[in-house]
């Protein structure tokens, strides 16, 4: 078959139809167990914690979109990251982007540190910080790019070359950009992480997480962790995610357009001190972003001039919803200081730029003028 464009791949997925019936929508195989044809024989599906046909379909679709050989689907992004840590041994050191999702910090620090792992949280957009943080025990770099919520961009290729020269691996959280705008595996990353709850599913109604990679030596270990911990994506949620991915390409175009409009409007507002958006030509890593991505996602963060403005804005928005999460069809506004990043120590939050004056905005797919009008009345 001809090589297909990204928007065709997202619309069709890995399975064009179900071969036995011709159904163009992958069926929901809502079964916990599967009949064996005979002793020592299997259809390839035995028990849904190990594998389920609907989950396999969405795993194959993510692998296809990211250009990887293997995809694994989990009940949440945190479930995916927890399974990922299992490929390392206690005593391993991992360098991590400092302005990352607070739940990832909590998982690493509260749980895996007591099992002998160590983590350094640094500004990975500054390559000298990576070099300084490296030790002989460093086994991986874990980067978010663009980062959450400060929208910093890390050089994926440079990070890959560096950590590979040291015998380690690069892990890239691609939640913000999605496979539509960025493909870390093609830039040298070893494993890609997604919170599928966000843009992939796209409708704020399903939790999911994914790992995508092409390493034979990690595949069985990751599968064993997935099966043993049991944090697998259910058949119905797998189907919802597959359905969401079908419109991912067109949604990302609208998210991006709305975020750009909102970012430029916010930049002119008298109550706004600074706007963080990768699409601005004066963004510190603008040229790098143009080099390794094909778009700017739908995420914007901004400082208001006074902390006192925060409560008023959050209580006055109507169309834009004050809620955690991002990437859905509805526009959302979040207060990282008290919500997504509250698990991170105050000193580290402030060092990363997550202050009491920061708001994070996720542009939905509504009309851009309506979004801006709502922000305007809320900030009046």
User: Would residue 101 show up in a list of annotated catalytic residues for this protein?
Assistant: yes
Exactly one of 6, 12, 49, 271 is catalytic; name it. Answer: 49
pLDDT digits (tens, 9 = 90+) for 263-288: 999 999 999 999 999 999 999 999 99
To the query of whether residue 351 is one of the catalytic residues in this protein, the response is: no
Sheet holding 299-304, edge to edge: 272-276, 299-304, 358-362, 332-334, 321-322
C-alpha distances (whole Å) from 123 to each of 242, 252, 275, 327 are: 34, 27, 19, 24
Q: Judge if 89 and 153 occupy the same domain.
A: yes
Rg of the chain over CA atoms, in angstroms?
21
pLDDT of residue 214: 98
Q: What is the DSSP letter of 299?
A: E
Query: Up-side HSE of residue 245: CA atoms within 13 Å toward CB?
Result: 32
Range of the domain at 40: 6-245
d(CA 150, CA 98): 10
Q: Kindly report, residue by residue over 26-79, the tens digit of the pLDDT.
A: 999 999 999 999 999 999 999 999 999 999 999 999 999 999 999 999 999 999
Q: What does the pLDDT read at residue 1?
A: 56
Q: Would you say the C-alpha torsion 251, 253, 254, 259 has a positive or negative sign?
A: positive
Nearest to 189 by CA among 212, 210, 221: 212
Domain check: are 252 and 216 in the same one? no
Question: Residue 61 belongs to a domain with what CATH number?
Answer: 3.40.640.10
Determine which one of 139, 198, 349, 357 is catalytic. 198
The residue from 173, 190, 237, 296 that is catalytic is 173
| Whether residue 164 is found in the same domain as residue 306 | no
* Residue 228 and residue 258 in one domain: no
Instruction: Give domain status of residue 191, yes or no.
Output: yes
Q: How many domains does one find in the chain?
A: 2
Whether 366 is in a domain gets the answer: yes
Active site annotation includes 198: yes
Same domain, 107 and 233: yes
| Active site (annotated) includes residue 173 | yes
Query: Which of these, 326, 270, 329, lies nearest to 301 by C-alpha position?
Result: 326
The angle formed by the CA atoms of residues 175, 5 and 295, to the nearest 5 degrees, is: 40
What distances in angstroms separate CA 199 from CA 95, 142, 190, 248, 273, one per listed residue?
Answer: 26, 20, 22, 7, 28
Preceding peptide of 146 cis, ω within 30° = yes
Structure-token match 């143009």, residue found:
290
If asked whether residues 224 and 257 sit together in one domain, one would say no
Is there a domain that residue 361 lies in?
A: yes
One domain for residues 109 and 232:
yes
- Out of 194, 215, 245, pick the residue that ends a domain: 245
Residue tagged active-site, from 55, 70, 99, 101: 101
33 with 10, same domain: the answer is yes
Q: Strands across the sheet with 138-144, in order?
A: 70-74, 209-213, 191-195, 169-173, 138-144, 93-97, 118-122
pLDDT in tens, the chain (380 residues): 568 888 888 988 887 777 888 888 899 999 999 999 999 999 999 999 999 999 999 999 999 999 999 999 999 999 999 999 999 999 999 999 998 899 999 999 999 999 999 999 999 999 999 999 999 999 999 999 999 999 999 999 999 999 999 999 999 999 999 999 999 999 999 999 999 999 999 999 999 999 999 999 999 999 999 999 999 999 999 999 999 999 999 999 999 999 999 999 999 999 999 999 999 999 999 999 999 999 999 999 999 999 999 999 999 999 999 999 999 999 999 999 999 999 999 999 999 999 999 999 999 999 999 999 999 999 99
Last residue of a domain, one of 245, 263, 279: 245
Only one residue has tokens 């609907």, namely 54
Residue 1 lies in a domain: no
Max alpha carbon distance in the chain (Å)?
73
Q: Which residue has the tokens 């991915």?
A: 245
Indicate the residue among 225, 245, 265 that finishes a domain.
245
Q: Are residues 212 and 272 in the same domain?
A: no
Q: Give the N- to C-terminal CA distance of the chain in Å, as an integer.
A: 55
**240 and 261 share a domain?**
no
């Amino acid at each position: 078959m001809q090589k297909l464009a990204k928007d065709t791949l997202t619309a069709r997925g890995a399975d064009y139809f179900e071969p036995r019936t011709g159904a163009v929508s992958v069926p929901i195989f809502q079964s916990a167990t599967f009949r064996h044809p005979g002793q020592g024989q299997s259809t390839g599906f035995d028990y849904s914690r190990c594998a389920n046909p609907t989950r396999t379909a969405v795993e194959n679709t993510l692998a296809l979109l990211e250009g990887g050989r293997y995809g694994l689907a989990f009940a949440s992004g945190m479930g995916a990251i927890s399974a990922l840590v299992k490929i390392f041994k206690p005593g391993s050191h991992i360098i991590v982007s400092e302005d990352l999702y607070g739940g990832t910090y909590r998982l690493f620090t509260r749980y895996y540190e007591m099992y002998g792992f160590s983590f350094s949280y640094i500004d990975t957009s500054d390559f000298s910080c990576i070099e300084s943080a490296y030790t002989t025990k460093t086994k991986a770099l874990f980067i978010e790019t663009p980062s959450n919520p400060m929208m910093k961009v890390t050089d994926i290729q440079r990070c890959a070359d560096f950590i590979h020269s040291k015998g380690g691996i690069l892990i890239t959280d691609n939640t913000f950009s999605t496979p539509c705008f960025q493909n870390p595996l093609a830039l040298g990353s070893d494993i890609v992480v997604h919170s599928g709850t966000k843009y992939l599913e796209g409708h704020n109604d399903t939790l999911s997480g994914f790992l995508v990679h092409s390493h034979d030596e990690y595949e069985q270990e990751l599968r064993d962790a997935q099966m043993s911990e049991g944090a697998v994506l259910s058949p119905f949620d797998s189907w919802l995610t597959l359905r969401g991915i079908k419109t991912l390409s067109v949604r990302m175009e609208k998210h991006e357009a709305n975020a750009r409009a909102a970012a430029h409007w916010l930049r002119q507002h008298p109550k706004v001190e600074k706007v963080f958006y990768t699409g601005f030509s004066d963004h510190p890593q603008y040229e790098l972003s143009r080099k390794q991505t094909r778009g700017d996602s739908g995420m914007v963060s901004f400082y208001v001039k006074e902390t006192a403005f925060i409560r008023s804005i959050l209580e006055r928005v109507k169309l834009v919803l004050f809620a955690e999460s991002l990437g859905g069809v509805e526009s959302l506004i979040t207060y990282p200081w008290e919500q997504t990043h509250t698990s991170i120590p105050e000193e580290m939050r402030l060092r990363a730029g997550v202050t009491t004056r920061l708001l994070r905005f996720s542009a939905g797919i509504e009309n851009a003028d309506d979004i801006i009008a709502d922000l305007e009345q809320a900030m009046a």
